Structure 1
Amino acid sequence: MQTNWTKLRLLALAGSISWMGSTLTTFAVVLQYKDAYGPNGVSAIMLSMILPTILAAPYAGVLADRVRAAILLPTLLSIMGLSTFMLSFDLGFIWSLVFLAITATCGTPVGASFNATLANYATPDDLPRVMGLLQTGSSVGAMLGPGLAGYLVTVTGSFAWSFRIDAASFFVLAFAVMALRIDRKPQPQIEGEKIRAMDGVKLVMKNDLVRALVILITMVIVAVSVINIGEVFLVMDELGADAITYGIVAATFAFGSVVGAVSTSVFKVPERYHAPISVAALVALSLITLTLAFAWHWIVVAIAWFIAGFFNAGLNAYGISLIINRTPEEIRGRVMAAVRAMFSTASVVGMGIAGLLIAGFGIRNVLGAAGIACIAIIVVLAPAVLRASRRLVD
């Protein structure tokens, strides 16, 4: 099998449009409710987009492994488009949380199916480059989204257009899946075999390298999730930026992700370096979290955010590829759903704590503590990842 670069490039283009739409919604809904509901309200918004991915993960993995991607993906993407469109009617905070949760619930099997399907269109050696290519598309979309959201809100005085554009982007991606004939057929089921939702978790815990890497990333996510809640308060309240400036600052993360993703898609790196690169990326993200605590201008945040995006792209490309390449085809959907659920659980815990801590101690103090916690976690857990990686090479 050869890597189908033409199909993957077109899929990346469609994905960039969808990611731009999703970023529009994320930033628009935060801007819409941050003043009225404060840090806890922003936490509730983020949790409404994350909790469903945890609760639905076991069943999402089963769907990804037992339903053809050509059927599953367009159907769920269409539902996501409809639920996002409902946000434009401004039915209130609670209904916004409901529609965000519906979108996130459908997005869980979509994400698992997409990740599991990639291996059907790329060789194992090319998979990190493919991940980089797809992330380039999504990062470009995410880079355009925040600035556009801030612009639309400022110029129109309404949040509705951000939600309408996002809704349309889901239908664009659904059409691309059908037009490109993206598909992954379920593996034949052995007679008497039971399809267990938790098989993905068991595989993650069984493989030494996958287990060590997932645990390390999960623990770091708990600490750095404070940024998701505190960024808007740091940039706008502490540093005095307006909505457009906030959108531009947030977009620098996506710009850094574009540069990092392009790098991973262009340069072919031997597999023995994938785990060390992942650890180095986590170290960089930890130091950036600590740096944000001392930011004196929004430009400092923008620069730090660009660097964070660059290293995050490397972590996604090499870390996730390691996991995909070590997963049997027949349970790949369940494994990727399990991994996503673990990461989402970490975000929920981190953001839940962050909202309370920021309200009590201030954003700068919490960012500083989170950065120190990240560094301590890496010192303790990173050696296990590197040891497992060396055993794999040997």
Structure 2
Amino acid sequence: MSFASAEQARSRWGDVYLAAGARGVSTCGDFLAATALALALQSAGAGGLAVSGLMLAAVLPLVVLAPLTGRLADRVDSRTLLVGAGVAQAGICVVLAYAEGTALIIALVALLACGLAVTQPTLSALLPEMVRRDDLPRATALNQTAGSVGVLVGPALAGLLVGEFGTKVPLLIDGASYLALVAAGLLLRTTRNSRNTHKTATVAWRLRRDPMVLAVTAAVAATIAGVGAVSVVEIFFVRETLGGSTTAFGLVQATWTAGMLAGAWLLTRPARRAADDGALVNGLVLMLGLCCLAVLAGAAVPAVGWLVPLWLAGGVLNGGLNVFLAMVMARRVPAEARGRAFAVQGAAIQGAGMFGYLAGGLLLESFAPRPLVAACGLAGLVVVALVAIPVTRAVRGERKAPRAAWATSAASA
């Protein structure tokens, strides 16, 4: 499996910064629009089901289209995918800015997510091609930082803009942000599947054939399924239970993301120094559990301000586990199959998130937000405890394999 090509003496940091910038700008637009629409629905009196329906629409295409978009990322010129998807998404946002009616808005959000289903595995598969193996942790941190900055700015900006201008301005800004993907597609020197660098993807990669990747994917997905409902409950918890304003809600969401930004860099060195892939996986599971613990503690806060240190700590852990997860995938999946790998893993994780969104919308119809936040954190901790068993087995099996191979070789000698 390759990272930067053998003839490439140095990592292409210019491409890393360009791709990270495109991700940051487009992510900012994504969360700007999503937060604006969620606030608009909540302010108009829509219930939890409407908000969860909006979130489901933003995720469903990533799950359903994963088999197709993963193959596209591995077989079609990456420049074509980025430019085409970026232009289409910009146009959809313009239409969305003038749309009326909850059903039409949700349908357009789903269509917008179809473009994300294409660009997400394309950009993820490009990153390991830009850098040498030793530079991957730093490149991943840069990529995570750009995404975190986008997530950090988007909700806070939405809270300010919705209060002043309504939803139209945030959605038009989101449309302009997708032009960053178009620019990246045109300017990146690193490409996949171009006419000059095309390679037939003959690797028959399957998630289930790698116990380590399967275990870590299942661990993250299962935990998100347990704790994911908090994404729907949070807006009602902050706005209604704690009495926070729209601006306060945006800032609370931004706090978690600020922690992710810091965590991506603070935990880059441990990721680089990990003894093996098993150490990365064990560290990732530990951080999953601590993230859920932060959510559980958040249910007890008496005011919005108390969420800030808890969400900041949770974000640091979240940023670190994202770096660890990207490292495991890039190091273990063959280069020719990375598009499919990232798409399949993303589908599993996003599908688990869909379960959380749906559960959150349904539970809000019968329960108050505070006990639901506590239930989400507790459910996440229970799931982490359960998935730790198969993860530990996978790590032990991985570490025994080299010793078994050495013993067989020594015996035959």
TM over 0.5: yes
> Which residue type is aligned with residue 303 of structure 2?
H
Q: For the Cα contact (< 8 Å) 1:70–1:182, is it kept in 2?
A: no
Distance in 2, matches of 1:117 and 1:92, equals 38
Quick check: 1:53 aligned with 2:57?
no
> Which residue type is aligned with residue 207 of structure 1?
D
Q: For the Cα contact (< 8 Å) 1:222–1:350, is it kept in 2?
A: yes
Deviations 1:4-45 (A, max 9, x none): 223212322232221111110010000111243211111000
Equivalent residue, structure 1, for 2:265: 262
Distance in 2, matches of 1:245 and 1:182, equals 41
Equivalent residue, structure 2, for 1:101: 110
Q: For the Cα contact (< 8 Å) 2:226–2:383, is it kept in 1?
A: no
Deviations 1:35-63 (A, max 9, x none): 43211111000000011111111101111
Q: For the Cα contact (< 8 Å) 2:193–2:199, is it kept in 1?
A: no
Aligned-pair CA distance for 1:105: 1.0
Quick check: 1:238 aligned with 2:244?
no
Moved over 6 A (4+): none
Which one of 61, 71, 81 corresponds to residue 62 of structure 1? 71
> Which residue type is aligned with residue 212 of structure 1?
A
Equivalent residue, structure 2, for 1:132: 141
Which one of 372, 375, 383 corresponds to residue 381 of structure 2? 375
SS in 1 for 2:130: coil
> Which residue type is aligned with residue 326 of structure 1?
R
Aligned-pair CA distance for 1:271: 4.7
Equivalent residue, structure 2, for 1:5: 13
Equivalent residue, structure 1, for 2:121: 112
Aligned-pair CA distance for 1:255: 0.8
Which one of 224, 227, 230 corresponds to residue 224 of structure 1? 227
Deviations 1:104-134 (A, max 9, x none): 1111121111111112112233323221111
TM-score of the pair, normalised by structure 1: 0.92
User: Any gaps of 5 or more consecutive residues in structure 2?
Assistant: 5-9, 403-413
Aligned-pair CA distance for 1:266: 6.0
> Which residue type is aligned with residue 173 of structure 2?
I
> Which residue type is aligned with residue 348 of structure 2?
M
Distance in 2, matches of 1:22 and 1:250, equals 14
Which one of 386, 389, 394 corresponds to residue 395 of structure 2? 389
> Which residue type is aligned with residue 390 of structure 2?
A
Structure 1 stretch displaced more, 322-331 or 22-31: 322-331
Equivalent residue, structure 2, for 1:164: 172
Aligned-pair CA distance for 1:265: 4.6
Distance in 1, matches of 2:230 and 2:192, equals 36
User: Any gaps of 5 or more consecutive residues in structure 1?
Assistant: none
> Which residue type is aligned with residue 274 of structure 2?
P
Aligned-pair CA distance for 1:214: 0.8
> Which residue type is aligned with residue 306 of structure 1?
L
SS in 1 for 2:134: coil
Q: For the Cα contact (< 8 Å) 1:70–1:181, is it kept in 2?
A: no
Q: For the Cα contact (< 8 Å) 1:132–1:263, is it kept in 2?
A: no
> Which residue type is aligned with residue 24 of structure 2?
S
Deviations 1:283-315 (A, max 9, x none): 111101211221211112222221121111111
Quick check: 1:347 aligned with 2:353?
yes
Distance in 1, matches of 2:26 and 2:257, equals 14
Q: For the Cα contact (< 8 Å) 1:277–1:314, is it kept in 2?
A: no
Distance in 2, matches of 1:366 and 1:335, equals 33
Q: For the Cα contact (< 8 Å) 2:152–2:258, is it kept in 1?
A: yes
Q: How does 1:196-345 map to 2 (within 5 A)?
A: 203-265=206-268, 268-272=272-276, 273-345=279-351
Distance in 2, matches of 1:214 and 1:265, equals 20
Q: For the Cα contact (< 8 Å) 1:130–1:265, is it kept in 2?
A: no
Distance in 2, matches of 1:110 and 1:227, equals 26
Quick check: 1:31 aligned with 2:34?
no
1:184/1:289 Cα in 2 relative to 1: closer, same or farther (>3 Å)? same
> Which residue type is aligned with residue 273 of structure 2?
V
> Which residue type is aligned with residue 38 of structure 1?
G
> Which residue type is aligned with residue 199 of structure 2?
P
Aligned-pair CA distance for 1:390: 4.5
Which one of 101, 123, 141 corresponds to residue 150 of structure 2? 141
Distance in 2, matches of 1:266 and 1:161, equals 41
> Which residue type is aligned with residue 250 of structure 1?
Q
Deviations 1:220-246 (A, max 9, x none): 010111111011001010000111111
Quick check: 1:357 aligned with 2:368?
no
Deviations 1:69-120 (A, max 9, x none): 0111111111111112212113221111111111111111211111111121
Q: For the Cα contact (< 8 Å) 1:214–1:339, is it kept in 2?
A: yes
TM-score of the pair, normalised by structure 2: 0.88
Q: For the Cα contact (< 8 Å) 2:268–2:320, is it kept in 1?
A: no
Q: For the Cα contact (< 8 Å) 1:23–1:146, is it kept in 2?
A: yes
Structure number with greater Rg is 2
> Which residue type is aligned with residue 183 of structure 2?
F
Q: For the Cα contact (< 8 Å) 2:19–2:123, is it kept in 1?
A: no
Quick check: 1:20 aligned with 2:28?
yes
SS in 1 for 2:88: helix
Root-mean-square deviation (CA, aligned residues, Å) is 1.9
Aligned-pair CA distance for 1:182: 4.0
